[in-house]
Amino acid sequence: MKWRGFTVIELLVVISLIVLLTAILLPSLQNSRRQAKATLCGSNVRQLIFGLMNYETENETFPYAFDNTLMEPPPGGYPGRFEYDRTGWWWFNHIVDYTIKDLGRTSVVWCPSRQIENNKLKYNVLPGNYGVNQSVCKSSSGRKNQMEFIGMPLRGSDISNPSQTLLLVDSGYSMINWWHAADSPPVPLGNSTIEDTTYIPGLWINKERALWPGQEEDAINGRHPNKTVNVGFADGHVSSNKADDLCVEKTNDEYKNLCPLWLPK
């Protein structure tokens, strides 16, 4: 029996079917991949929250968000880049014994959904991963116009609504506060430092924010499906929330947000 090859028409039909199936399945595969990364991100947040809670239990206070009171550098050296970031210990340096063995890019301090394209920021652990709430984990130093976030970190007993109070979240920088989620911040936030461009990924106000080049995709379109973020709370639980839930809106002279709460009292 003599074999007959495919005709041109038959080949075109097969190719068309393959292209059609690819077009149908590709968005679903991409969404599944994004969802898998979001799940892994939630696991990272859970481990980091575990470390923060254990630190608070042992030391009777949460760690500093940023700490420049220690003379020696943290294990592995100071995080960040000297030309863009402050030099000192960061909250994740304080919980190494509880959670993190190193700061390699496969460790839990790196969000798997991070979308930072600027090469000046891309390999820097501080921008675009997870940020602690500076209203809880205060800093040892800072700018004079941000005294609200400077001082001793809080204890768990200082927080009246721990199950609603944000402790850790997907963030544009390693520390974040409610000013960065406010539609009208108390002071203008420029783009002179990376700290000033801290953001909640996917929050609607980011379209109007001053951002560093390479932060736009992460800040405006978000990291996870449906512009959600993983939030760790001061009681230890983790949830996935719409980024817009964290917005702080100004009405007359008052700032309000619902839940998660930025302020511990």
Query: Model confidence over 152-189: pLDDT tens digits?
Result: 999 999 999 999 999 999 999 999 999 999 999 998 88
Q: What distances in angstroms separate CA 88 from CA 66, 138, 172, one per listed residue? A: 7, 14, 19
DSSP H or E run through 175 = strand 175-176
Give helix then strand counts, H and E, for the chain.
4, 9
Least confident of 28-37, 122-131, 158-167, 242-251: 28-37
pTM of the model: 0.85
Question: How many whole angstroms separate alpha carbon 92 and alpha carbon 20?
Answer: 47
Q: What is the DSSP string of 182-204?
A: BSS-SS---SSSTGGG---TT-G
Question: How many whole angstroms separate alpha carbon 265 and alpha carbon 262?
Answer: 9
Question: How many whole angstroms separate alpha carbon 49 and alpha carbon 177?
Answer: 17
Answer whether 121's CB lies under 8 Å from 80's CB: no
Answer whether 177's CB lies under 8 Å from 135's CB: yes
Token representation of residue 53: 């809670």
Where would I find the beta strands (DSSP E) of 4-80?
66-67
Domain-wise residue ranges, the chain: 37-256
Which band of pLDDT confidence, cut at 50, 70 and 90, is reported for residue 210? confident
In eight-state DSSP terms, residue 122 is H
Is 193 a residue whose pLDDT tops 80?
Answer: yes
